[in-house]
Amino acid sequence: MTAVVLDGKEIAREIEEELRRRINDLSKNGVTPCLAVVIVGDDPASHVYVGAKERACARLGIRSVRVDVAYNADYEEVVSTVKSLNEDPEINGVLVQSPLPSGMDEISITDLIDPIKDVDGFHAQNLGRLVQGDASGLLPCTPAGVMRMLERAKLDLSGKRAVVIGRSRIVGMPLSILLAQRGVDATVTIAHSRTAGMADLCRDADLIVAAVGSPNMITAEWVKPGATVIDVGINRVTDNSEKGYYLTGDVHPDALDIAGALSPVPGGVGPMTIAMLMSNTVRATEMQH
Ligand code: NDP
């Protein structure tokens, strides 16, 4: 069997088409959505990610504002930056790019963002709503992107076994909740670095989501024939190419011969994450007007 490739780029394009219509409706009322991204310090990967977000905004006609804060700025400076963006009526979405310099607490800074402008969906209020069973608010972008990808593949997950490998605040944990919510109804196992018998757990699963950050960790032997495999991992592996590295996921390419459907890296969950950030920015703007 060769798996159906779940093309994140294509689904992201469809989402962008739908967003263009909504942005057009907003502009008829004189409103242009605006996303503010705060970067603290000079992490090169952060600049790459923020560049991709800015290009997506430009494609859609969303205004983007980038606020650079020096790596040695104190906590109070970041706090006042976020507060002034909260108060600015021209700004509809605010995110603080991760990672922050060591010693700066990401969770407390995230919780300063006005929940109605929290386009990353990481504020305690937005995550809390999700735990209460309400998935209608601003959802974390990568988990929401995975759910859109599964919906688009028309997979019926009701009563199916899902294993989510990774329990982070931004990917694994919220995604597990979304998969287990009423209406989706998967039976979810959350696996992590202390999980025993991972291969057996995976072999039993109808859906495997890998969100670890470990290249090629999920091998073909772990995959039940016909299972769906979503690869969230993005790993830079050094090589002799001009770039000096290539990108790969957490899933070994051989899994393509066993799985029923599989999301590639690159071109799978990555573009979905950006599309969902754009979607949250439009949603936040609609809620504010
Ligand atoms: P974290 O480092 O926050 O979490 C990784 C998780 O993997 C942890 O829960 C950890 O367990 C678990 N883990 C680590 N080693 C193992 C192991 N050997 N077996 C089982 N579980 C293990 O990472 P993120 O959630 O932020 O990101 C995960 C991956 O997804 C990364 O590659 C990241 O780059 C990528 N990513 C991709 C995005 C996209 O748009 N495609 C967006 C965000 C992230 P424990 O909790 O016990 O430490």
Which of 163, 123, 148, 146 has the alpha carbon at shortest distance from 269?
146
Structure tokens at 164: 């989510």
Cβ neighbours for 240, distance < 8 A, ≥ 6 positions apart: none
Cα–ligand 1 centroid distance for 166 (angstroms): 5
- The string of pLDDT tens digits covering residues 10-36 is 999 999 999 999 999 999 999 999 999
For the domain spanning 140-270, the CATH number is 3.40.50.720
* Angle, CA 201 vertex, CA 259 and CA 169 arms, to 5°: 90
125 is catalytic: no
111 is catalytic: no
CA dist., res. 48 & res. 202, Å (int): 33
Cα–ligand 1 centroid distance for 279 (angstroms): 24
Per-residue pLDDT, 173: 98
Tell me the average pLDDT across 91-113. Answer: 95
Per-residue pLDDT, 231: 98
Please name the residue whose Cα sits nearest to atom 36 of ligand 1.
233
CA dist., res. 131 & res. 197, Å (int): 28
Q: Do 30-115 and 140-270 have matching folds?
A: yes
Mean per-residue pLDDT of the chain? 97
Per-residue pLDDT, 45: 86
Structure tokens at 99: 């990672």
CA dist., res. 132 & res. 135, Å (int): 9
**pLDDT surpassing 80 at residue 76:** yes
Tell me the average pLDDT across 88-98. Answer: 97
Q: Would you list the domain boundaries of the chain?
A: 30-115, 140-270
Judge if the beta carbon of residue 193 lies within 6 A of ligand 1.
yes
Structure tokens at 234: 């993005």
Per-residue pLDDT, 64: 98
CB-CB neighbours of 169 under 10 Å = 13
Q: Is the peptide bond before 33 cis (omega within 30 degrees of 0)?
A: no
CB-CB neighbours of 270 under 10 Å = 23
Q: Which atom of ligand 1 is nearest to the CA of 249?
A: 32
- The string of pLDDT tens digits covering residues 185-228 is 999 999 999 999 999 999 999 999 999 999 999 999 999 999 99
Per-residue pLDDT, 44: 87
Q: Which CATH architecture has domain 30-115?
A: 3-Layer(aba) Sandwich (3.40)
